[in-house]
Amino acid sequence: MRQISPAQLAQRLSDPQQPAPLLLDVREPWELEICRIEGSVAMPMGSVPARFSELDRNRETVVICHHGGRSAQVCMFLERQGFSRVINLAGGVAGWAAQVDPRMAQY
């Protein structure tokens, strides 16, 4: 499974020369109310098996959760469904807050 650090993702998102990946946030709705990375799409982990057909298999997708564990599981699931361009955000939104956006609310 591929991984990307929060700092690498921030750099990638700030590069207008590169197509932006889909940011797929698999946290629960109450978690999204606390904080989220701008531009991310919400799809709670429990809904992914029923909803993964909504995703573009050919688009690079960075999967996000709180610390990186749930998103890693979703990455593995999506890979088993034939997605080849999924990347886990190492450290999740907690890592994003620590490395990229210290103003982000944490929980």
- Known catalytic residues are 65
Asked whether the beta carbons of 63 and 2 are under 8 A apart, the reply is no
Give the rounded distance of the alpha carbon of 100 from its chain centre.
15
